[in-house]
Structure 1
Amino acid sequence: MSVPVLLVIALLLAGCGKFFVSTTTTTTTTTGSGTGNYIYVANATTGTVAGFSLSTSGLAVTSGSAYSLGVAPSSIATTPNGAFTYVASLAGAVYGYSVGTGGALTLLNGGSAVISEISPNAIAVDATGKWLVAVDLTPTAYLFQINTSTGLLTQAGSIPLDAGTPNAITFTPADTLAYVSLGTGGVDILTFNSTSGSLGKTNLILSPKSTNNADYGLAVDPESKYLFVTETGLNAVRAFSIASTGGLSELSGSPYATGLGPVAVLVDSTGSYVYVANRTDGTISAFTLSTAGALTKVSGSPFTTGTEPSGLAEDTTDAYLEVANAGGSPDLQVFSIGSGTGVLTSFATATTGTDPTGALAVVSAK
């Protein structure tokens, strides 16, 4: 999950390219062998990636973490099988890592970027793990084929996007559509074919409710029926039904109020809950998701996070929600997800390097 480019730039200024692309908090900092349930956090200020294994005992730092990137990351993504993790940078590159024993990361391509001469603000990997899309500020979407043996990338095409600032991209789980949020430009709607590896324009675009609003976070439910979009100005999450063409129809009851500055949204793997990270007020808004796409606030929502929550991920056991806090206090926060309730209970926290790290995005890997 990426955060908006303006927020990344703000982190860099605070010190915190182009073509070719009961609540008890437990902190565990000991190094372990890992459990096969790994978390990786992209740190904008320190130019590193921090790795952790997650178990019912807490968090353990992976061997060699934090991994130096040398440039400020803007986004992070992992393949569904957990074999490879990719990190994008506005400095003009995408780097790749293989995930080894205990979750340790090793740079691919001899330590050189796997893609250069583009400056992606967001990247995402499709459901098959064979394709990666990167979006930059030109604005353009670039499609790359992933070598599933080596993790290296080969460019497979590019398409221009509509006007705006690309800051997030998501595929439908059915792998037939992709959506790109463009800030004040709204949301671009793209077609995708994972068999042939083609990405195309639909000439459809979702506009914000008002010209002063901006769309950031994107998430689709597991059945590819609904798209959720966080929109600042509204301080809300909007809910849409998805047509076979990719077209969007806003559902009755939408938008749903969140906290201030909603920037990231996640639908859990069961399709039961929707979580929104509210960067400005440091909270997570939690909702239950009905079969008709309606949202109902979870008891106790919103839940308090660290400062400036910017990235969300669900662990591979589907039992925990992970939060990257760009402002720290803490850098990484893990909540347990209440079975049948969606209630978040603080479970573990960790620093992701020498603070301030600017932890802006988080992913999970097997």
Structure 2
Amino acid sequence: MKLNKLGRGALASIVSVALGLGLTACSRDYVLSYVYVTNAKPASAGATNGAVTAYAVDYLQGTLTPLPDSPIAAGKNPVTDVATPNGQTLYVINHDDSTVMQFSIGTDGKLYLKNTVNITGSFPTAAAVDATGTFLYVTFTYQVGPNNTQLYSPASPGPGGVTVFKIGSDGSLTPQSTTNVGMNPIAIAISRPVCATINTGGASATNCELTGATSNNGYYNTFVYVVDQEPQPNATVLGFTQNTSTGALTPAPGTTITTVAGKTVATGYAAGVAPSAVAVDPSTRFVYVTDQLTNQLYGFNITTGGGLSTMVSSPFATGQFPVAVTIDPRGLYMYVANKNSGTISAYAIDAKSGSPSGTVGSTATTVGTQPTCIGIDPSLGIYTYVSNNLDASVSALQLNPHNGALTTIQNSPFPSSGLPTCLAVVAASNQHPTQFVVQ
């Protein structure tokens, strides 16, 4: 394992400080990071749009304090948000008006609306920014035709797609291209650049060979995975390679995008009955997909060119109706949000095979009612936050870096605006997120 910014000893020292060793009382108000929660319900009476609730994270305890002027107005039914790696811009995805809102993040964590742009389809569902902060990818439910004509709708279902935006130096978005996919794209995850030269010390040839990486303008292959939640047997995870210059997506081995009777048909890797979420581990060796109807987690190995092969012993058990999956920055532990169980399942990831198993400390932790998303603080990698949809709250948990167990932080859960849908955790401007590469 290599650390981009901090060595293992330095990380251990920081974690010790975070656990309260050798820190004076005056540091209790030190802001470590910020949490931004999207809320489908309007922030105030008479409003028609959703909101974003913003919090500051206490360095020592991980507790949440609402920021002044929070909640902030968003669009209609915001379903998720995602930040750029530099922590300077937050993008809020609004489902019902098919837009992306660009917020600048101030040094005090406050949000300032800069622009609102349309996606190239309708009803967006998920979003991800690549590790270099160059492109934003937004999945949407329905494709549109020439001159922006509405080909498909809930009354006339059809295939969806992925809008690719180029991210400017100021966080602005410029539409680059659209990749058509299957009937119901609902989740997306992006790998780190394989063997990227931006990592301290470079990467070993062995890791490059495992994933079939080839150099492209100083970087190496980045893979993008989209969950297509079509009725069985067409429920799949689709794999793509990214063009690092344009952001365009090309189907990886095992993924096919064709047109049948005028409609896009996508085929990829089987992922259960109703795949719901996807995550790629930091080493770009493993992909995990949850299935919300069978209460299972599917594991895949990344093969040459971004293709996938099923892990031995896959699938693995989860709680009831898993809807989100997140991997800690070191790639050691994985967490699944079980919507109907009201729990977070914890797994330890085997470094060689990628197989997940229940953690030593705890296999499931109770949170709020209907958890929807999980976010881990990128600065220390020990504070974990969960948006709870039905009880309008955010659960705060502390991740034990030695065994992956989760324990509830004092005063958790913290109140939010109505119907939280997802969240993003962004390092404060005086923090430097640690990037981990497992080899």
TM-score (structure 1 length as normaliser): 0.84
2:133 aligns to what SS in structure 1?
A: coil
Structure 2: state its 5+ residue gaps.
1-27, 43-49, 143-159, 194-220, 256-267, 428-439
Matches within 5 A, 1:152-167: 152-161=172-181, 163-167=182-186
Contact 1:309 1:326 in 2 (8 A): yes
Q: Find the aligned partners of 2:32 and 2:106 in 1 and give their Cα distance.
A: 10
Contact 1:277 1:309 in 2 (8 A): yes
* Shift in Å, 1:122: 1.1
2:108 aligns to what SS in structure 1?
A: helix
Q: Deviations over 1:46-79 (max 9, x none)?
A: 2000111112242111221100114210221110
Matches within 5 A, 1:107-186: 107-109=113-115, 113-115=116-118, 118-119=121-122, 120-138=124-142, 139-149=160-170, 151-161=171-181, 163-174=182-193, 176-184=222-230, 185-186=235-236
Q: Which residue number in structure 1 is paired with residue 425 of structure 2?
A: 364
Structure 1 letter corresponding to 2:366:
T
2:31 aligns to what SS in structure 1?
A: coil
Structure 1 letter corresponding to 2:426:
A
Q: Find the aligned partners of 2:119 and 2:320 in 1 and give their Cα distance.
A: 36
Structure 2 letter corresponding to 1:66:
P
Structure 2 letter corresponding to 1:93:
T
Q: Which residue number in structure 1 is paired with residue 106 of structure 2?
A: 100
Structure 1: state its 5+ residue gaps.
1-31
TM-score (structure 2 length as normaliser): 0.71
Relative to structure 1, the CA distance from residue 156 to residue 117 in structure 2 (aligned partners, 3 Å threshold; closer, same or farther) is closer
Q: Which residue number in structure 1 is paired with residue 430 of structure 2?
A: none
Matches within 5 A, 1:291-330: 291=351, 292-298=353-359, 299-316=361-378, 317-328=380-391
Q: Which residue number in structure 1 is paired with residue 77 of structure 2?
A: 72
Q: Find the aligned partners of 1:158 and 1:70 in 2 and give their Cα distance.
A: 22
How many corresponding residue pairs? 323
Aligned counterpart in structure 2 of residue 228 of structure 1, from 288, 293, 318: 288
Q: Which residue number in structure 2 is paired with residue 25 of structure 1?
A: none
Q: Which residue number in structure 2 is paired with residue 10 of structure 1?
A: none
Matched, 1:349 2:395: no
Q: Find the aligned partners of 1:248 and 1:65 in 2 and give their Cα distance.
A: 42
Contact 1:36 1:103 in 2 (8 A): no
Relative to structure 1, the CA distance from residue 61 to residue 197 in structure 2 (aligned partners, 3 Å threshold; closer, same or farther) is same
Q: Deviations over 1:258-316 (max 9, x none)?
A: 10101100111011101000001111110100112011101322111101111011112
Larger radius of gyration: 2
CA RMSD, aligned part only? 1.7
Q: Which runs of 4+ in 1 moved over 4 A?
A: none
Structure 1 letter corresponding to 2:38:
A
Higher RCO (C-alpha under 8 Å, 6+ residues apart): 1
Q: Find the aligned partners of 1:189 and 1:145 in 2 and give their Cα distance.
A: 20
Q: Which residue number in structure 2 is paired with residue 284 of structure 1?
A: 344
Matched, 1:340 2:340: no
Structure 2 letter corresponding to 1:84:
T
Matched, 1:215 2:275: yes
More strand, by proportion: 1
1:310 aligns to what SS in structure 2?
A: strand
Q: Find the aligned partners of 1:332 and 1:129 in 2 and give their Cα distance.
A: 27
Q: Which residue number in structure 1 is paired with residue 35 of structure 2?
A: 39
Identity %: 31
Structure 1 letter corresponding to 2:291:
E
Q: Find the aligned partners of 2:251 and 2:119 in 1 and give their Cα distance.
A: 24
Contact 2:75 2:94 in 1 (8 A): no
Structure 2 letter corresponding to 1:160:
N
* Shift in Å, 1:349: 2.4
* Shift in Å, 1:36: 4.5
Structure 2 letter corresponding to 1:88:
I
Contact 1:33 1:62 in 2 (8 A): no
Structure 1 letter corresponding to 2:354:
G
* Shift in Å, 1:352: 1.4
Structure 2 letter corresponding to 1:265:
V
Contact 2:100 2:119 in 1 (8 A): yes
Contact 2:121 2:163 in 1 (8 A): no
Q: Find the aligned partners of 2:279 and 2:291 in 1 and give their Cα distance.
A: 13
Structure 2 letter corresponding to 1:301:
T
Structure 2 letter corresponding to 1:167:
I
